[in-house]
Structure 1
Amino acid sequence: MHRPMEGVRILEVAQFTFVPAAGAVLADWGADIVKVEHAERGDAQRGLTRVMGLPAGVEGSSFAPIMEGPNRGKRSIGIALDKPESRPVLEELVRRSDVFLTNYLPSARAKLALTIDDIRKINPDIIYVTGSGFGTEGPDADQGAYDLTAFWARGGSADGVTPADANRVSFMPAGAYGDSMGGMSIAGGIAAALFARNVTGKPSEVDVSLLAIGAWATQFSVNLALLTGGPLPKVQRTEQSPGNPLTGNYRTSDGRWIQLSMLQPTRYWAEFFRVLGRQDLVDDPRFNTMDEITEHAEMIGEEIAKTMASKTFDEWVKSFADMTGQWAAVQNSWEVGNDPALIANGRIVEVVDADGRSQKLVANPVKFDNEPVKLTRAPQFAEHTDDILGELGLSGDEVIALKLAGAVT
């Protein structure tokens, strides 16, 4: 199996999901990721037991998706970065790495001597990558952030999905929602920086901020607001797109939803209504042109809604299976995890957890050479400390001395 990042070594000094998710993607692509964790607490995310009101795992299992997703395929070493005894270990790891990847704030990096100047003194050729809340410049460069604040709220998504008359702001649809998108962007930036170094011989400094990811995700609305010179008016959300009844969501008899998105309704009109069992709407002369469809859109939408409400979700999914017009079942997280298209393309992958049990994870969305990705579980806290120190050439006595000094775990 071709894994384009094989041979690339990445030193990750990061926690939570945003930046570690980039490491996970690169590990999927074949890179060797050494994850540096706090010598006592490990990645702070290991301490989260609930996410978005739900338990982060299940009773009796060490497998926690909140850690497994952004950390699969890595090796973990516990290092007390604030202890001088640990510095030679960190520096040797830096010397052996192609990329230094962190989400520590500038003040913390300065305190721990992890700035770009500090790292480049050790390895002048290393690519230095930061994932930040608001970018490396400007008044908020040293402000901490999560995707809920920088990406979702400040980046425009929260406002975009919150109705004008709402009593509260709409919440993110999933935990680490912006973090996961941001991790993919960082991974892409690292791939570009590695390519550039190979071509020019010069290493890059890369930064991706959650705010920038949020603005990129909402760019259509942001660009339109900049063009028109002010905030966009709140558009009243309806089940159907104005003027096009073949673009909208329709409720089934059992309370589920089907999403239609046929942007060329005249192209799919006859087929859709035949599948719907409404030949009368195919033959109706009032709907021969797009202008006529637009004029009668509300009435047509009501007819579609009435018919859709006559059958169950599963019945419509089966009926629409071979339809050429664009549609989708509105799926919950369980259905996404069992989606036949994702499974067929190797995007839902089995992995053996630390307890020896088979589990499943979502793979990154990039597929190389039409091959499924193979995943290994996330490391337990400091699981590979002894192995990594051995690779650096430390003797057993030297490792013990570091542990006694509290420099490594």
Structure 2
Amino acid sequence: MSGPLSHIKVLDLSRVLAAPWAAQNLADLGADVIKVERPIKGDDSRAFAPPFLKDEAGNTTRESAYFCAANRGKKSITVDLSKPEGQQLIRDLAKNVDVIFENYKVGDLARYGLGYEDIKKINPSIIYCSVTGFGQTGPEKDRPGYDFMAQGMGGLMSVTGEREDLPGGGPQRVGVPIIDLTTGMYASIAVCAAIANRALTGQGQWIDVSLLDSCVAFLANQAMNYFATGESPKGIGNAHPNIVPYQTFKTADGALILACGNDNLFNKFCEVANCTHLAKDPKFSTNGQRVKHRDEITALLNEIFLTKTTRQWVKLLDEAGVANGPINSIAEVFQEPQVLARGMKIELPHAVAGKVPLVGSPMKFSGTPIKHEIPPPSLGQHTDAILSEVLKKSEAEIAELKQKGIV
């Protein structure tokens, strides 16, 4: 494999999205990732459906689209962790890997002799990443956590959605499980940093990443707005709390995003839109003034944007170098020439569906390019191969493990 982490082996003991997303990132980067799933049921997200994949004849399979979103590039083995023989298989696999991801409740794996301190004894250089709702410490560490809860508890929903005094206003969940994904990204970064540190020191370590912490960190400028003023920011729909105009506008036939990130861009916009008088008005000439007079400038721009279609505005603004864009449906996203040119839609052969379309990795490397070669696995697809090739089990030993329901 050609990726920058092609020398790294990963054991993915996690389920659903946050930690599997992190393990998938490492798989994209070339790591050899073994995903451990429960016999029969597998990862919980295999049941997050419909929709399911369809095979080449158009028949519905039992492979959920949700599972495929977070598990490309992995090999699947089924192991019953509740049984001593299954726990021993995990310990044997742990001896041969660099990284372990897990997202069990705090202390659960330690009960099976599979916690960080247990694995460290047999693999001192292991990088062990635990992903939970609330972290390994603190008064709420034992609570189960989900993305939706983190979005609410971590404050993200309070600044997402239309103003409460407008129709449909109030706190709103982001349209994708953004905190699961963000937590997965933080976990990916942390593991890569630990790999780099181990190259210098030879020491592994335990990484503790949580949904709530990630959401709080993700508040970014909105948290700083609070620290600077002592007032909690509120939802303002598609507008920006610190930049105007940086929002959506209705056009003659749809809607458009205008992103004037500085005064120069606003001036360029005014030239294209034949409203240079606005750029000269002291109330609107600087971003600070436009933020103060947000409602007034927005009302004026609303009228201007209704005079042309979305595509007319896109053409004019592009030619002027003003940041803008249409609001695409998901279908339209994968028809965008730029998205296609960047290889963001890929297709891989699949054990059950024949082939499966997937979203490609956004990471582009000049020297160690990412190659998508392994599709999301069917449940237990690689069990026999891993037992025989990695753990050197004989056919008789594998048959006995299956007969006992261990794998």
Normalising by the smaller structure, the TM-score range is 0.7 to 0.9
Per-residue displacement from partner, 1:339-380 (whole Å, max 9, x unpaired)? Answer: 333332233323233346444322333221184642531100
Alignment of 1:72-83 (within 5 A): 72-83=72-83
**Aligned mates of 1:200, 1:80 — CA distance in 2:** 35
The answer to whether the Cα contact below 8 Å between 1:34 and 1:76 also exists between their aligned partners in 2 is yes
- Candidates 305, 313, 334, aligned match of 1:308: 305
Q: 1:164 to 1:104 in 2, by over 3 A?
A: same
- Residue aligning to 2:173: 171
For the residue of structure 2 that corresponds to 1:35, the secondary structure is strand
- Residue aligning to 1:258: 256
The answer to whether the Cα contact below 8 Å between 2:68 and 2:376 also exists between their aligned partners in 1 is yes
Per-residue displacement from partner, 1:249-305 (whole Å, max 9, x unpaired)? Answer: 210122x3211121323x2355424433x2xx23x4x74365553488766544432
Instruction: Using the TM superposition, give the Cα deviation of residue 110 of structure 1 relative to its aligned residue in structure 2, in angstroms.
Output: 2.5
**Aligned mates of 1:240, 1:37 — CA distance in 2:** 43
The answer to whether 1:89 aligns with 2:89 is yes
- Residue aligning to 2:39: 39
**Aligned mates of 2:117, 2:32 — CA distance in 1:** 24
**Aligned mates of 1:109, 1:75 — CA distance in 2:** 21
- Residue aligning to 1:272: 269
Q: 1:373 to 1:213 in 2, by over 3 A?
A: farther
- Residue aligning to 2:382: 384
The answer to whether the Cα contact below 8 Å between 2:12 and 2:101 also exists between their aligned partners in 1 is yes
The answer to whether the Cα contact below 8 Å between 1:345 and 1:372 also exists between their aligned partners in 2 is no
**Aligned mates of 1:28, 1:238 — CA distance in 2:** 35
The answer to whether the Cα contact below 8 Å between 1:99 and 1:128 also exists between their aligned partners in 2 is yes
Per-residue displacement from partner, 1:185-216 (whole Å, max 9, x unpaired)? Answer: 11111111111111011111111111111011
Gaps of 5+ in 2: none
**Aligned mates of 2:279, 2:49 — CA distance in 1:** 56
For the residue of structure 1 that corresponds to 2:319, the secondary structure is coil
- Residue aligning to 2:225: 224
**Aligned mates of 2:240, 2:153 — CA distance in 1:** 27
- Residue aligning to 2:181: 180
**Aligned mates of 1:178, 1:346 — CA distance in 2:** 25
The answer to whether the Cα contact below 8 Å between 1:156 and 1:218 also exists between their aligned partners in 2 is yes
- Residue aligning to 1:205: 206
- Residue aligning to 1:130: 130
Amino acid at match of 2:18: F
Instruction: Using the TM superposition, give the Cα deviation of residue 180 of structure 1 relative to its aligned residue in structure 2, in angstroms.
Output: 1.7
The answer to whether 1:332 aligns with 2:329 is yes
**Aligned mates of 2:242, 2:200 — CA distance in 1:** 51
- Candidates 360, 363, 368, aligned match of 1:366: 363
**Aligned mates of 2:242, 2:29 — CA distance in 1:** 45
Q: Taking structure 2 as the reference length, what is the TM-score of the superposition? A: 0.87
**Aligned mates of 1:144, 1:242 — CA distance in 2:** 32
For the residue of structure 2 that corresponds to 1:321, the secondary structure is helix
- Residue aligning to 2:405: 406
Instruction: Using the TM superposition, give the Cα deviation of residue 120 of structure 1 relative to its aligned residue in structure 2, in angstroms.
Output: 1.3
Instruction: Using the TM superposition, give the Cα deviation of residue 49 of structure 1 relative to its aligned residue in structure 2, in angstroms.
Output: 1.5
The answer to whether the Cα contact below 8 Å between 1:3 and 1:29 also exists between their aligned partners in 2 is yes
**Aligned mates of 2:28, 2:71 — CA distance in 1:** 10
**Aligned mates of 1:405, 1:396 — CA distance in 2:** 14
- Residue aligning to 1:117: 117
Amino acid at match of 1:132: T
RMSD over aligned Cα, in angstroms? Answer: 2.7
- Residue aligning to 1:288: 280
Q: 1:206 to 1:242 in 2, by over 3 A?
A: closer
Q: Taking structure 1 as the reference length, what is the TM-score of the superposition? A: 0.87
Identity between Structure 1 and Structure 2 (%): 28
**Aligned mates of 2:19, 2:243 — CA distance in 1:** 41
- Residue aligning to 2:108: 108
Matched positions, count: 393
Per-residue displacement from partner, 1:25-51 (whole Å, max 9, x unpaired)? Answer: 10000000111101231111111225x
**Aligned mates of 2:211, 2:10 — CA distance in 1:** 21
Q: 1:209 to 1:262 in 2, by over 3 A?
A: same
For the residue of structure 2 that corresponds to 1:71, the secondary structure is coil
The answer to whether the Cα contact below 8 Å between 1:239 and 1:249 also exists between their aligned partners in 2 is yes
Instruction: Using the TM superposition, give the Cα deviation of residue 108 of structure 1 relative to its aligned residue in structure 2, in angstroms.
Output: 1.8
- Residue aligning to 1:322: 319
Instruction: Using the TM superposition, give the Cα deviation of residue 182 of structure 1 relative to its aligned residue in structure 2, in angstroms.
Output: 1.7
The answer to whether the Cα contact below 8 Å between 2:284 and 2:297 also exists between their aligned partners in 1 is no
